[in-house]
């Protein structure tokens, strides 16, 4: 059954509570701490939840939780009870001894009264002690504002027993384990965690069509649109050269800015990740790799290859299979570079507004220093360094080299080889000249991904 989202109701409140408890049990903790597990539930469901916790306690787990005014069938399951009022402890000891403790203080419970309600009446000052009436002492709370019940408890043997036990535990920790603490091991192996978290990520993709099927449909639509705009570009010197460079620039823009949606990935799941990671469900590396294997590859790489196959042949680019593979590789690396930068921003900030600002700014600078809008040789020296981190520059250079080498462009009076056009752009069209752009894009991907992982940790 689906737990539910902000758009899907999913399971009931009681089932959601049980699911939350089950999640905490994944790591098999020896101590289970819950904050008001029965709040908002009906009496039957609350009773079922507490009985479940009682069974866990009988299996060797320590269960601690806060609760308000439980019914008697729930109260009688407690082994230890701590009562607080105004931030001070007024009782801490065996739950079965609580009535006897307050009876000795002069408080009498009425017949058929729920002990939990009776204790609330005492702490709120609604129940009066018979000892106060005999000794003419002021009833609780006292006139000077002091918490007399807390004072009484601090003077009792119960408090002394607790203090002695705490001192014993503290002394044992000081003598035996100080300076020898070790990080807790995970309950499951790395590969098991990776398989489970990847499976969950895939299920989320299948249940959220706008991030999976819509992504593919959008890429197909843009591929057909680009193919129609630049349909079967001829090898003419002016028109063919201009349309090819314009098409590549448009494609690179689409590859980079089309991944702006990736900034929401870690922001959307930040609360869930922090809770599950801090609770020891899985390693940070497992979560990060699951996003790469189960989200990044199917959502970014597969649609890019479909996009490239449609647009490449509709535009009539170099008709060789190797050239097509190099083109698809270039588009994929450009897209991954944009995604990796979006991942870094998403892992570094917690709000969409800040993420949108931080991701748009470097993309715009990279576009300006990509070599298409501005001649990089004419840039000021103190600004020209930006070209070395520009995704656009490496993507455009690789696309130009892949398309223009080995091609002949003609006009009415002359034939110009593509290599001459590349030399005019000061582009190295050697084999290494092509692959150094791929290496640079891969370097940007690795650096951004590494920094994103560090930010998550």
| Mean pLDDT, 10 residues at a time, the chain of 457 residues | 67 76 76 84 84 88 86 89 88 90 87 86 79 50 59 88 84 60 66 90 77 78 90 86 89 86 83 83 90 81 88 90 93 92 89 85 84 71 77 91 88 85 86 92 94 90
Res 224: pLDDT = 92
Q: Report the distance separating Cα 267 and Cα 347, nearest Å.
A: 7
Per-residue confidence (pLDDT) for residue 178, from 0 to 100: 47
- Are 138 and 132 in contact, with CB atoms under 8 Å apart? yes
Q: For residue 275, what are its two tokens?
A: 């809770």
Question: Per the structure block, which two tokens stand in for 258?
Answer: 């089309």
- pLDDT at position 444 is 94
- Looking at domain 13-175, its CATH class is alpha beta
Angle, to 10 degrees, between the axis of helix 391-404 and the axis of helix 239-257?
Answer: 140
Question: What is the rounded CA–CA span in Å between residue 206 and residue 200?
Answer: 10
What are the start and end residues of each CATH 3.40.50 domain in the chain? 13-175
Provide the sign of the torsion angle of the four alpha carbons 82, 84, 87, 89, taken in this order.
negative
Q: Are 299 and 214 in contact (CB under 8 A)?
A: no
What pTM does this model have?
A: 0.72
> From CA 193, how far away is CA 381, in angstroms rounded?
50
């Amino acid at each position: 059954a689906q737990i539910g989202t902000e758009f899907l109701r999913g399971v009931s409140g009681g089932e959601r509570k049980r699911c939350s408890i089950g999640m905490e049990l994944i790591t098999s903790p020896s101590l289970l701490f819950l904050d008001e597990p029965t709040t908002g539930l009906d009496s039957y469901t609350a009773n079922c939840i507490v009985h479940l916790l009682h069974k866990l306690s009988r299996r060797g787990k320590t269960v601690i939780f806060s609760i308000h005014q439980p019914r008697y069938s729930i109260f009688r399951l407690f082994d230890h009870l701590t009562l607080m009022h105004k931030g001070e402890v007024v009782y801490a000891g065996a739950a079965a001894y609580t009535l006897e403790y307050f009876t000795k203080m002069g408080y009498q419970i009425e017949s058929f009264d729920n002990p939990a309600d009776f204790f609330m009446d005492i702490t709120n000052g609604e129940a009066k002690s018979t000892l106060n009436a005999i000794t003419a002492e002021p009833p609780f709370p006292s006139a000077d504002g002091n918490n007399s019940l807390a004072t009484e408890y601090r003077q009792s043997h119960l408090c002394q027993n607790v203090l002695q036990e705490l001192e014993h535990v503290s002394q044992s920790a000081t003598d035996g384990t100080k300076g020898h603490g070790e990080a807790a091991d995970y309950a499951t192996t790395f590969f098991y965690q990776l398989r489970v978290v990847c499976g969950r990520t895939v299920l989320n993709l299948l249940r959220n069509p706008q991030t999976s099927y819509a992504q593919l449909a959008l890429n197909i639509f843009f591929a057909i649109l680009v193919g129609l705009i630049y349909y079967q570009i001829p090898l003419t010197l002016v028109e063919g050269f201009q349309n090819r460079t314009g098409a590549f620039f448009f494609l690179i823009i689409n590859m980079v800015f089309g991944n702006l949606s990736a900034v929401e990935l870690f922001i959307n799941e930040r609360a869930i990740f922090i809770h599950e990671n801090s609770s020891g469900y899985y390693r940070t590396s497992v979560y990060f790799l699951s996003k790469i294997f189960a989200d990044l590859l199917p959502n970014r790489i597969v649609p890019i290859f479909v996009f490239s196959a449609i647009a490449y042949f509709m535009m009539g680019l170099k008709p060789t299979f190797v050239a097509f593979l190099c083109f698809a590789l270039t588009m994929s690396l450009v897209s991954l570079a944009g995604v990796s930068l979006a991942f870094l921003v998403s892992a570094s900030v917690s709000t969409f507004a800040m993420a949108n600002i931080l991701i748009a700014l470097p993309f715009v600078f990279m576009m300006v220093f990509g070599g298409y809008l501005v001649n990089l040789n004419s840039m000021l020296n103190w600004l020209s360094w930006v070209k070395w981190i520009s995704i656009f520059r490496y993507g455009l250079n690789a696309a130009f080299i892949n398309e223009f080498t080995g091609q002949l462009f003609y006009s009415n009076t002359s034939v110009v080889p593509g290599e001459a056009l590349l030399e005019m752009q000061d582009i190295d069209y050697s084999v290494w000249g092509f692959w150094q752009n791929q290496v640079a894009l891969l370097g940007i991907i690795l650096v951004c991904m590494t920094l994103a992982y560090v930010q998550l940790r």
